[in-house]
Amino acid sequence: MTNNKRVSNEKILSEIKNLRTVFAKYGVDVVVDPMTETELNALAVKVVSRMVKLKSMEDWFDHVNRSELAWSVAYEDLELTEEENALGEAAKLMTLMNLFQDEEEYEKCAIIKGRIAQVNKVLKKGKK
């Protein structure tokens, strides 16, 4: 019953009866009134409705999460300390430094080196 083929209500009710038999073998009494076809259809509609809502919410969340505004709000919610911000800035600057060295853009490297010195002062202050 786990494949995506259509399953009749009779098949579902039959499986429920089979499960009751299996549970009974182990002494587990499952007391559930048998569902009518109408109740089974109502349950199916509720399940599908919830699945569609969840999928819609997932799609909406993915769409919103990709927006620049969502990223900036989420980033602000991190509430990073000064030291954590400095570490992030240092990582970014080191990456840029390597990039500019590979491209032999030494003027940019000098600017980055000055900024790294400022970030290092913040990091040293945080260690005290």
Measured between alpha carbons, how far is 74 from 127 in angstroms, rounded to an integer?
27
| Residue type present at position 87 | L
Measured between alpha carbons, how far is 126 from 128 in angstroms, rounded to an integer?
6
Residue 1 has what pLDDT? 45
Residue 115 has what pLDDT? 93
pLDDT along the chain (128 residues), means of 10: 66 82 82 75 87 85 76 74 89 94 93 93 80
User: In whole angstroms, how far apart are CA 37 and each of 41, 45, 47?
Assistant: 6, 12, 15
Q: Are 122 and 83 in contact (CB under 8 A)?
A: yes
Look up tokens 């010195």; give the residue: 117
Residue 32 has what pLDDT? 63
Residue 113: its H or E element: helix 106-127
The angle, 0 to 180 degrees and rounded to 10, between the axes of the packed helices 106-127 and 82-102 is 160
